[in-house]
Chains A and B, each alone.
Chain A
Amino acid sequence: MTSFLAGLFAQQNFIPHGFCLAWEPALLGLHVVSNSVIAVAYYSIPFALIYFISRRRDLAFRGIFALSGAFILACGTTHIMDVVTLWYPAYWFDGFIKFFTAVISIFTAAAMWFVMPKALALPSMAQLEDANRRLQHEIGERQRAEAALRNANEELERRVTARTADLEDEVAQRRRTEETLRASEERWRSMFEASAVGIALTDENRRFVAVNKAFQKMLGYTSDELCSLGPVEITYEDDRAATQEMLDNMLSGRSSGYHVEKRYRRNDGTVIWVRVSTAQAPEPGSGLRGIPTIIEDVTERKQAEDALQEARDALLRVTRVTTLGELSASIAHEINQPLGAIVANGSACLRLLAVEKPDIEEAKEAVEDIISDSRRASAVLGRVRQLAKKSAPERAPVDVNGAISEVLSLTRQELQRNQVTARAQLDPSLPPVLADRIQLQQVVLNLVMNGIEAMRGVKDRARVLIVKSAVAAPADVAVTVEDTGIGFANSDPEHIFETFFTTKDDGMGMGLSISRSIVRDHGGRMWATPGAPIGAAFSFTLPASAGARA
């Protein structure tokens, strides 16, 4: 090996290249400088390439770069050899260097052509930039799309949140409504159950669908028993037709409700009085079922009212009988007149028939008179008995003039005994009034007796009692009893209507107050006015009964 290397650098018989250049210093210098500069440049290039490759790890075709680096390095070495061979003729070594350079050059050139298609396939810078731009654009688009998507997502989330809040609100609201409803329902139910008055619901089939405890207790039925019954079934027999009609009217819409007092028959058979108030029946299709009804037991009140009415009737009768007592002498007179005539006629009849040729005609007339006088006496007794009898008041159409005339005939003798001239001024066109005839006569009788009483002390003038009847506006019948008595002096005419007020020594002071209460009961009014020019006038009105016939 040493010999081979020695052989390479052996200068033996070769001439240095400078010799060819004739050792011309300038030429030598030119070659030396040019080759040296080339060598320096060629040597620097591979280092630049190595630096480039080391920095660009992503570089394609790194082999080509390496080969090129070696090739340029080899070329650089050949230029160094060109300088060396100017003085040292190591042409073999120079030749081998050149051979080595040639081999690398060929490989490099071959490799270049080999990779050419691939290198050509590499995108150019512009293409890359264009692709980059497109990519950038696409990235932008995507980013925008992503942003839009993000926005949409946020919007969706916001909406979901808002809707969720709304739903929660709605649920809470519904819960509150349900609680309110439940509270309301409980409130109503407790009112329904705890109510002291009866409450019931009646459906369109006239059956109870709900009844409270008070109602069950009132009637002595259980809730179930009542719900198999209806308002008609529990009603007292005499009131059933009216109840049926009211229900019909409500269910058909002809009536919007009713308030009545009627009777029920309890489970144990006893009869109670109730006040029934219905509310409006629900509209068809309103979802509400049944007619709401409130029922109040008014039996005690009714009994008290009945007792009061009985006491009042009894008082009226007692005062009537008292008045009749005051009239007893006059009544006896009224009966004794026809009785006297009857006895006289009877006696005459006996005489007429006792003779040989009886005057049959005259006897017949006597008997006819007896019959008519008997009737007259009987009529007087009848009138007295009617005023004294114990019977419930009864309203019927009354001929006021007829009633007044009867009172005047009953008091005729009393008037005469007291030297009172009685005058009746009765309007024949008077319509009938709906009244209790006896009570009406009691009022007139009281006024006539008061008139007689008021004139008892009168000595200086005629004692006149005038009884008038007339039609008064709007559709009333007015009766006035005037006297020429002592009048009211300076006292208030209203004062005399007070109970227990009396100017009589033996009076109870009830006549006028009772009379006024009777008139009021009949829907009329009663008042007193000073007489003109003297005495007093008592008047009362009664509503005419439209369409009634006395």
Chain B
Amino acid sequence: MTNNQFVVMIVDDDESIRRAARRLIKSYGFPVETFASAEDFLSSSRLHETACLVLDVQMPGLNGLELQSRLITDGHQVPIIFITAFNDENARAQALKAGALGYLVKPFEEADLLTAINVALRRQEIGRQSPGTLH
């Protein structure tokens, strides 16, 4: 929470959700950036500043789960919190199995999001304080 270099990135095709999530996460005191699609995020080269990715599951083009797979394949260990308006058990299982920190269904509880973000930031901090010494 003290490291301002780490930015929470929001990728959602729904503008209302982007605006609301940005406002909420900002109110926690975290810097926030938003992207309307997975492709926008990938081409932004903001991956290294990403402390946490708040990702929508259903999106035109590359969807949330596909972006997750892509990042894993590319070797980026970015903490991901999924938010979805569509509760699909298969999607949830796939996301969590691949390492997602949360799978929140809209309308989600504020506390759940905050908790998940904190977990993500702590994990990032640990990773940063002792790079290469995960044990």
Number of A-B contacts (CB under 8 A): 88
- A residues 433-491 near B (Cβ < 8 Å) are none
Known contacts: A344-B24, A351-B27. The answer to whether A337 contacts B19 by CB under 8 A is no
B20 on the A face (CB < 8 A):
yes
Known contacts: A337-B106, A416-B58. The answer to whether A348 contacts B24 by CB under 8 A is yes
Known contacts: A337-B14, A352-B27. The answer to whether A343 contacts B110 by CB under 8 A is yes
**Interface residue range, chain A:** 20 to 34
Nearest CB to that of B13 among chain A residues? A416
A336 on the B face (CB < 8 A):
yes
Q: Are A336 and B16 in contact (CB under 8 A)?
A: no
A338 on the B face (CB < 8 A):
yes
A329 on the B face (CB < 8 A):
yes
**Interface 1/0s, chain A 160-184, versus B by CB < 8 A?**
0000000000000000000000000
Q: Which residues of A contact B17 (CB under 8 A)?
A: 337, 340-341, 344
**Interface 1/0s, chain A 326-339, versus B by CB < 8 A?**
00010011101111
Q: Which B residues lie at the A interface, using CB under 8 A?
A: 14, 16-17, 19-21, 23-24, 26-28, 58-60, 83, 85-86, 105-108, 110, 113
Q: Are B108 and A340 in contact (CB under 8 A)?
A: yes
CB B67 to nearest CB in A, in angstroms, measures: 15
Q: Which residues of A contact B23 (CB under 8 A)?
A: 344-345, 348, 352, 362, 365-366, 369
List 6 A-B pairs, minimum CB-CB distance, nearest first: A340-B106, A344-B20, A336-B85, A351-B27, A341-B16, A343-B107
A342 on the B face (CB < 8 A):
yes
Other A-B pairs, 15, CB within 8 Å; known A340-B20, A344-B17, A348-B20: A333-B86, A336-B86, A336-B106, A339-B107, A340-B106, A340-B107, A341-B21, A344-B20, A344-B24, A344-B107, A345-B20, A362-B23, A369-B16, A413-B85, A417-B58
A421 on the B face (CB < 8 A):
yes
Q: Are A348 and B27 in contact (CB under 8 A)?
A: yes
Q: Which residues of B contact A351 (CB under 8 A)?
A: 24, 27-28
A249 on the B face (CB < 8 A):
no
Q: Are A344 and B85 in contact (CB under 8 A)?
A: no
Q: Are A344 and B110 in contact (CB under 8 A)?
A: yes
Complex Cα distance, B30 from A348, in Å, reads 13
CB A267 to nearest CB in B, in angstroms, measures: 64
Q: Are B19 and A369 in contact (CB under 8 A)?
A: yes
A373 on the B face (CB < 8 A):
yes
Q: Which residues of A contact B83 (CB under 8 A)?
A: 340
**Interface 1/0s, chain A 353-386, versus B by CB < 8 A?**
0000000001001100100110010000000000
Q: Which residues of B contact A348 (CB under 8 A)?
A: 20, 23-24, 26-27
Q: Which residues of A contact B105 (CB under 8 A)?
A: 336
A/B interface sample: 20 pairs, CB < 8 A:
A329-B86, A333-B58, A333-B86, A334-B85, A336-B85, A340-B20, A340-B107, A341-B21, A341-B106, A342-B107, A345-B24, A347-B110, A348-B23, A369-B16, A369-B19, A369-B23, A372-B16, A376-B16, A413-B86, A417-B58
Q: Which residues of B contact A369 (CB under 8 A)?
A: 16, 19-20, 23
CB A362 to nearest CB in B, in angstroms, measures: 7
Complex Cα distance, B16 from A369, in Å, reads 7
Q: Which residues of A contact B58 (CB under 8 A)?
A: 333, 413, 416-417
Complex Cα distance, B26 from A345, in Å, reads 11
CB B129 to nearest CB in A, in angstroms, measures: 28
Complex Cα distance, B105 from A332, in Å, reads 11
Q: Are B86 and A417 in contact (CB under 8 A)?
A: yes
Q: Are A341 and B20 in contact (CB under 8 A)?
A: yes
Nearest CB to that of B27 among chain A residues? A351
Q: Which residues of B contact A339 (CB under 8 A)?
A: 106-107
CB A181 to nearest CB in B, in angstroms, measures: 87
Complex Cα distance, B110 from A362, in Å, reads 18
CB B86 to nearest CB in A, in angstroms, measures: 5
With beta carbons under 8 angstroms apart, the residue of B14, B21, B86, B108 that contacts A332 is B86
Q: Are B16 and A337 in contact (CB under 8 A)?
A: yes
Complex Cα distance, B88 from A315, in Å, reads 32
Complex Cα distance, B50 from A343, in Å, reads 25
Nearest CB to that of B85 among chain A residues? A336
Q: Which residues of A contact B110 (CB under 8 A)?
A: 343-344, 347
Q: Which residues of A contact B28 (CB under 8 A)?
A: 351
Q: Are A333 and B60 in contact (CB under 8 A)?
A: no
Complex Cα distance, B21 from A416, in Å, reads 22
Complex Cα distance, B59 from A421, in Å, reads 11
Q: Which residues of B contact A376 (CB under 8 A)?
A: 16
Known contacts: A338-B16, A416-B60. The answer to whether A343 contacts B27 by CB under 8 A is no
Complex Cα distance, B16 from A407, in Å, reads 21
Q: Which residues of A contact B26 (CB under 8 A)?
A: 348
